[in-house]
Amino acid sequence: MITRKIQTSTPQATEALATSIGARFRGGEIIELVSDLGGGKTTFTRGLASGIGSKDVVASPTFTISKIYTSEKLTLHHFDFYRLNNSGLIAHELHDVMQDANAVVVVEWADIVKEVLPVTRLTVTIAKIVNDEGRLFTFSCPDELSYLLEDA
Ligand code: ADP
Ligand code: MG
């Protein structure tokens, strides 16, 4: 496993950080975002979408559960399971998307689908730094995903 810690001090910096990671996607990656509400998971996802070259608008899919952002080569599937109690159907959708070699999957509030998420994923944990717009990002992934964090 690899671990990296990076701090940002503005939402723009968080987006830029995510854009550099999104630009490295090859297809097939799974990203799990962990933080409290307002931590910056959706902001980070906005950067990932721009990193794959998508111009689609990224917003919190809390009430729709999943959204898709497209670029020429890849599709970014953005799931948000906040307060979802029954994962049945959506876990199925998640499972299907993970078979698509050109799809990248980003999941907020993944607890309810933890057992369908592969071990080979990038976990991004975001902690607020008190009294600031600061955020501490902890990235962790198995070695085979190290290309996502190069120079980070
Ligand atoms: P989540 O999806 O985790 O609930 P959001 O990305 O929707 O979080 O919201 C994060 C909020 O925190 C936004 O209003 C954003 O402007 C603000 N914010 C302040 N500082 C940062 C930062 N460094 N990184 C990301 N978001 C930040
Ligand atoms: Mg969110």
| Helix or strand holding residue 140 (H, E) | strand 135-141
Rounded Cα–Cα distance for residues 40 and 109 (Å)? 12
Q: Which residues line ligand 1 (CB under 6 A)?
A: 8-11, 14, 35, 37-43, 60, 108, 133, 135
24 falls in which pLDDT band (50, 70, 90)?
Answer: very high
Burial class (CB in 10 A: 0-12, 13-18, 19+), 107: buried
Write down the pLDDT at residue 90.
81
Write down the pLDDT at residue 91.
81
The 75-80 sheet, strands edge to edge = 2-8, 135-141, 122-128, 30-34, 103-108, 75-80, 66-70
pTM here is 0.95
Ligand 2 centroid–CA 108 distance in Å is 7
Q: Quick one: tokens of 37?
A: 């509400």
SS3 150: coil
Task: Tell me: pLDDT of 104 over 90.
Answer: yes
Q: For a ligand 1 pocket test, name from 6, 31, 43, 129 the mutation site with the most ligand atoms within 8 angstroms of its C-beta.
A: 43
Which numbered atom of ligand 1 lies nearest the CA of 132?
20
- Calculate mean pLDDT across residues 94-104: 94
The set of residues, in sequence order, having a beta carbon less than 8 Å from that of 57 and lying 6+ positions away, is: none
Ligand 1 centroid–CA 125 distance in Å is 13
Instruction: Tell me the per-residue pLDDT of 28-82, one tens digit each, with 9 for 90 and over.
Output: 999 999 999 999 999 999 999 999 999 999 988 656 678 999 999 999 999 998 8
The set of residues, in sequence order, having a beta carbon less than 8 Å from that of 126 and lying 6+ positions away, is: 33, 34, 35, 39, 40, 41, 44, 135, 136, 137, 138
Which numbered atom of ligand 1 lies nearest the CA of 13?
23
Of 81, 80, 144, which is closest to residue 118 (Cα–Cα)? 144
- Calculate mean pLDDT across residues 126-147: 95
